[in-house]
């Protein structure tokens, strides 16, 4: 390798020829240093420390310490200076080939970034920003730039020109050709309940895979149709512990739960896996009792309630994890169905997520288990033709 006497100018894709660095300068990382750690091309920060050494005359910059805009990024690159108490992200020089054959460049992978293009800020959120619309040259650029701030108060616009704010005509045409959603299709349950004869006692049952109550409880509270349920069957609650926090309760509902870690007596390997769990919310006006344990039913995730008024029904909520084989699950499901039959209460309604694709042509062991008990899939019978 030959050391060049004069600095070679690289092209735009090369590491910078030089960096005008100083504490307080805004910079942007221009290489993917550690994707998992959040140090990627487009990461912004401020130079806070410059670490130098002196050998045989001139000073050499060894490390540049950054305060990143995203404080969660760069955890592996912190505290690189022995004995340092700061929490800066320290960046070293990179070495890579340049556009000129046989030439390597060692340089810090960053450049000045007091401003940046709209393309670089896609997906970013910030409290304030100055947006210049002068050089907008394609559809959607203005939208990307103007929608980054959390409030109008933090948005400052220069060179405003409303002609720069426009969408791709192809997108506009596609939107015009889309089928319009009707209110009836958006709220099918509400429309169904309107058609029910008021004098006939009814029981509205909804099954919902929550994929985690801790993260989706507020979503459930705000859902426009879940609140219409007399009985709300939930799978994948992701709850743990022996008690249920008040934050998971619903007003005017009782709650029965069974977490994964207490659902497996013989298959303890399943009990150790995070997630899963079932719950049932039922209106306080119902005369009902819950059953979490049934004889000989030792290894499924289930909970049962027996409703006695205003109508009678025996309702079970069941969840079969994808990694719980049918060989192990189906005997337990059969025991559960047998136990429900012995409770002498009709109708028997089983809601759940069995992780089977009923639309596929393959085998559906869980569905076949119900069919052998002369139970019918009401979901397929009652869905409107235009429902997907």
CB atoms within 10 A of CB 365: 16
Task: Decide which of 135, 164, 193 is a domain's last residue.
Answer: 164
Confidence class for position 198, pLDDT limits 50, 70, 90: low
Rounded Cα–Cα distance for residues 79 and 122 (Å)? 30
Task: Decide which of 164, 193, 209 is a domain's last residue.
Answer: 164
Domain that holds residue 223: 185-382
Per-residue pLDDT at 98: 83
Rounded Cα–Cα distance for residues 104 and 15 (Å)? 10
Is the confidence at residue 381, as pLDDT, over 80?
no
- Give yes or no: residues 279 and 152 share one domain: no
Ranking 47-51, 95-99, 379-383 by mean pLDDT, the lowest is 379-383
Is 242 within a domain?
Answer: yes
- Give yes or no: residues 360 and 277 share one domain: yes
- Give yes or no: residues 193 and 139 share one domain: no
Rounded Cα–Cα distance for residues 180 and 228 (Å)? 25
CB 228 within 8 A of CB 193: yes
CB 279 within 8 A of CB 231: no
Is 223 within a domain?
Answer: yes
Note the pLDDT tens digit of each residue in 2-50.
555 456 777 888 888 888 889 999 999 999 998 988 889 989 999 999 9
CA distances from 137 to 131, 145, 355 (A): 14, 13, 48
Q: How many domains does the chain have?
A: 2
Task: Decide which of 104, 132, 164 is a domain's last residue.
Answer: 164
Is the confidence at residue 312, as pLDDT, over 90?
yes
Q: Please tell me which residue, 86 or 91, carries the higher pLDDT value.
A: 91
Is 263 within a domain?
Answer: yes
Per-residue pLDDT at 384: 40
- Give yes or no: residues 151 and 191 share one domain: no
What's the mean pLDDT in 365-383?
69
- Give yes or no: residues 339 and 190 share one domain: yes
Per-residue pLDDT at 30: 92
Is the confidence at residue 321, as pLDDT, over 50?
yes
Per-residue pLDDT at 42: 87
- Give yes or no: residues 224 and 118 share one domain: no
Is the confidence at residue 186, as pLDDT, over 70?
no
Enter the tokens of residue 298.
Answer: 């030792």
Is 169 within a domain?
Answer: no
**Cβ burial, residue 158 (10 Å; 0-12/13-18/19+):** exposed
- Give yes or no: residues 197 and 259 share one domain: yes
Is 150 within a domain?
Answer: yes
- Give yes or no: residues 208 and 111 share one domain: no
Is 179 within a domain?
Answer: no
Is 266 within a domain?
Answer: yes
Confidence class for position 385, pLDDT limits 50, 70, 90: very low
Note the pLDDT tens digit of each residue in 60-89.
898 999 999 888 888 888 866 655 667 889
- Give yes or no: residues 316 and 217 share one domain: yes
CB 80 within 8 A of CB 69: no
- Give yes or no: residues 157 and 195 share one domain: no
- Give yes or no: residues 305 and 212 share one domain: yes
CA torsion angle for 238, 241, 246, 247 (degrees, to 10)? -30
Phi, psi torsion values for 311, nearest 5 degrees = -130, 165
Q: How many CA atoms lie within 13 A of 368 on its CB side?
A: 7
Is the confidence at residue 183, as pLDDT, over 90?
no
CB 95 within 8 A of CB 65: no
Domain containing residue 296: CATH number:
3.60.10.10
Q: Please tell me which residue, 185 or 177, carries the higher pLDDT value.
A: 177
What's the mean pLDDT in 323-347?
91
- Give yes or no: residues 112 and 234 share one domain: no
CB atoms within 10 A of CB 208: 19
**Considering the chain, what is the average pLDDT of its residues?**
86
What's the mean pLDDT in 91-107?
87
Is 20 within a domain?
Answer: no
What's the mean pLDDT in 333-344?
91
Ranking 251-255, 258-262, 347-351, 369-373 by mean pLDDT, the lowest is 369-373
Is the confidence at residue 388, as pLDDT, over 50?
no
Q: Please tell me which residue, 121 or 130, carries the higher pLDDT value.
A: 130
């Amino acid at each position: 390798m030959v050391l060049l006497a004069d600095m070679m100018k690289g092209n735009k894709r090369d590491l910078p020829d030089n960096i005008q660095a100083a504490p307080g300068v805004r910079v942007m990382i221009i290489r993917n240093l550690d994707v998992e750690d959040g140090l990627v091309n487009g990461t912004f920060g401020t130079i806070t420390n410059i670490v130098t050494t002196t050998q045989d005359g001139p000073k050499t910059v060894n490390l540049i310490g950054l305060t990143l805009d995203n404080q969660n990024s760069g955890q592996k690159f912190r505290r690189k200076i022995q004995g340092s108490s700061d929490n800066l992200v320290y960046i070293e020089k990179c070495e890579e080939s340049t556009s000129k054959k046989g030439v390597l460049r060692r340089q810090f992978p960053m450049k000045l970034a007091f401003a940046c293009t709209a393309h670089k800020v896609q997906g970013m959120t910030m409290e304030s920003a100055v947006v210049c619309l002068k050089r907008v040259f394609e559809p959607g650029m203005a939208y990307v730039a103007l929608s980054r701030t959390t409030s109008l108060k933090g948005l400052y616009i220069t060179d405003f020109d409303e002609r720069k704010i426009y969408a791709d005509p192809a997108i506009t045409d596609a939107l015009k050709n889309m089928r319009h959603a009707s209110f009836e299709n958006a709220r099918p349950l509400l429309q169904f309940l309107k058609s029910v004869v008021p004098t006939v006692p009814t029981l509205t049952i909804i099954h919902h895979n929550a994929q985690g109550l801790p993260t989706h409880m507020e979503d459930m509270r705000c859902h426009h149709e879940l609140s219409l349920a007399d009985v709300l069957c939930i799978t994948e609650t992701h709850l743990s512990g022996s008690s249920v926090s008040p934050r998971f309760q619903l007003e005017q509902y009782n709650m029965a739960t069974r977490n994964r870690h207490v659902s497996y007596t013989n298959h303890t390997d399943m009990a150790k896996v995070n997630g899963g769990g079932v719950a049932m919310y039922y209106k306080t006006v119902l005369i009902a009792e819950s059953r979490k344990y049934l004889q000989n039913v030792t290894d499924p995730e289930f909970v049962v309630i027996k409703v006695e008024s205003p109508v009678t029904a025996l309702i079970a909520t069941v969840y079969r994890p994808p990694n719980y084989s049918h060989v192990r699950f189906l005997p337990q499901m059969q025991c559960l169905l047998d136990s429900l039959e012995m409770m002498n209460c009709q109708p028997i309604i089983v809601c759940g997520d069995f992780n089977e694709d009923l639309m596929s042509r393959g085998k559906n062991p869980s569905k076949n288990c119900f069919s052998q008990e002369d139970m019918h899939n009401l979901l397929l019978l009652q869905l409107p033709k235009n429902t997907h």
